[in-house]
Structure formats: C-alpha cells, structure tokens
Amino acid sequence: MFETSSYRDAGLPGDTAAVVAPDRLGLLCHEVMDGNFLCAVLFQVRPDLPVQVLHTRDDLDAWMSGVTPAARLIAFCSGVVVPAAYLAVLGGQAYNFHPGTPDYPGRFPTAFARYDGAALFGATLHQMATRVDSGPIVGVVQSPVPPGSSYQWLAAKAHQAALHLFLETVDALACSLAPLPPLSLSWGARQCSLKALEQACCLPNDISAEELERRCGSFGQVLGAKLYVMLSGRRFELAA
C-alpha cells in the first residue's frame, strides 16, 4: 500500500475545457508488457490519441523524425537517454517516470537505496531536462521499506509505484498539453550513475564480511554488474 502521493495534492493543470490536447504520444519503455498495459490505459482515456511504443534509441529517432508541435513524449522506466536536441524540439513536452524516489536520481536507484537502507522508496514523475533526472518534479509515490528488504523487493516496489503514478496522471498527460504543476521537491545529491555503480563494485582489500554482504546484496544484483578486487594491478571478479 502506498502511503503518500504528492501529485494528487498538486491538482490537475489548467482548465481542461480550454486546453489543447496532444495530437500524438511517444511511449518510451523497456518492457514489452509495460508498453502493452500503458497503451491499454491510454486507450481508455483517449481512444483517438495515436500512441507509438518506443523501446530503443533507434525507435526514438524514427518517432522524432515525424514529431509535431503538439506531440508529447513519455518515458517509463526506460534506460534510453533522450538527447538535449530532442528535448529542445519537444519544448517541455517530455516527461519521465523514474523508478526511484527523488533522493536517488540516476540510472541505478534501487541498488543505492538498498545499500543505504532507505526508509522510503517508490517512483518519481518529472519533466525531462538536459541532465538526467534533474527536471522539475511533478509527482512522487512512495511507501515504507521493511528492514532487510531485498534488491528484488525494492525493484518491484518501484515498478508498482511507477504504475500507480501513471494511473494518477494519465488524464493530464493524455488530455492536455498544459505543463503539469511542479512540486516543492528537489532531487537528492546521491549519485546513482554508472560511474558511481562501477566505483561501488570495486571492493577494498580489507573489506569486512558485513560490508561484502551489503554490496553483494545491492550492487551485485544489478544486471551485468561485477564486484571485483584489484591485486597487484590485476582485476579479480567475484563469482556469483
């Protein structure tokens, strides 16, 4: 159960009877099932809205080649970075559902939240900006994290929160080009970038058993990540 939802307190933008609606929507998401579900939700809200699901940078490039002044782009838990040039063309009509709270901007929020023992976790909706996860925050859904929660539990909770937030905001996103009202919230200073992950995966030679377990349960769970130690200039990776 999600205990807080900041977007609901902010209200919907503008007078919906007078605003212009998007004439097309690009839905950038990683998972095929997410794309299918979100399209079904959008169809219930605006059956006349052309929606194109985009999974890769190539898909995004193709969609942007036919973009219109009334188009809107929505990214949902996607790892594709939208170029600054595309954001300029879209003119503020690009929003991102980030699978983490504002305390954890960047590509790997779940790993760092698990490592920190975050008390709250969820998802954030924000307007896209040139720097990843830095644009105005327009929605947050989060809930308490039980002590000792696994990486997998946190990842599932963030995804559920993002879906919850999408359902709360889909009317505003699909039916009006008016900007979603920003909240009085700021992004945290914690870096959850690829560089930060790689640094966290490098284990000190005198690492304690407790710290090793903590890193294995957090950074070692990221797909493709390898924990390692450096000895005499050589890299030794830990077996799974």
Strand partners for 235 = 230
CA pair distance 183, 108, nearest whole angstrom: 23
Q: What angle do CA 88, 5, 28 make, to 5 degrees?
A: 35
Q: Which domains does the chain have, with CATH numbers?
A: 4-175 (3.40.50.170), 194-237 (no CATH)
Of the chain, the end-to-end C-alpha distance in Å amounts to 33
* R_g over Cα of the chain: 19
Q: How confident is the model at residue 12 (pLDDT cuts 50, 70, 90)?
A: very low
Please name the residue that has the structure tokens 């997410």: 34
Q: What is the pLDDT of residue 19?
A: 59
CA pair distance 210, 107, nearest whole angstrom: 25
pLDDT in tens, 156-180: 999 999 999 999 999 999 999 999 9
Q: How confident is the model at residue 92 (pLDDT cuts 50, 70, 90)?
A: very high
The token pair that represents 209 in the structure block: 């058993």
Mean per-residue pLDDT for 74-80?
94
pLDDT in tens, 146-159: 999 999 999 999 99
Q: What is the pTM of this model?
A: 0.90
Q: How confident is the model at residue 42 (pLDDT cuts 50, 70, 90)?
A: very high
Q: How confident is the model at residue 2 (pLDDT cuts 50, 70, 90)?
A: low
Percent with pLDDT over 90 in the chain:
85
Mean per-residue pLDDT for 77-99?
95
Tell me the torsion sign for CA atoms 21, 24, 28, 29.
positive
Computed over every residue of the chain, the mean pLDDT equals 91
Q: 158 near 99, Cβ under 8 Å?
A: yes
pLDDT in tens, 115-150: 999 999 999 999 999 998 889 999 999 999 999 999
Q: What is the pLDDT of residue 133?
A: 87
Question: Where would I find the H helices in the chain?
Answer: 6-10, 32-45, 57-64, 84-90, 109-116, 151-175, 194-201, 209-218
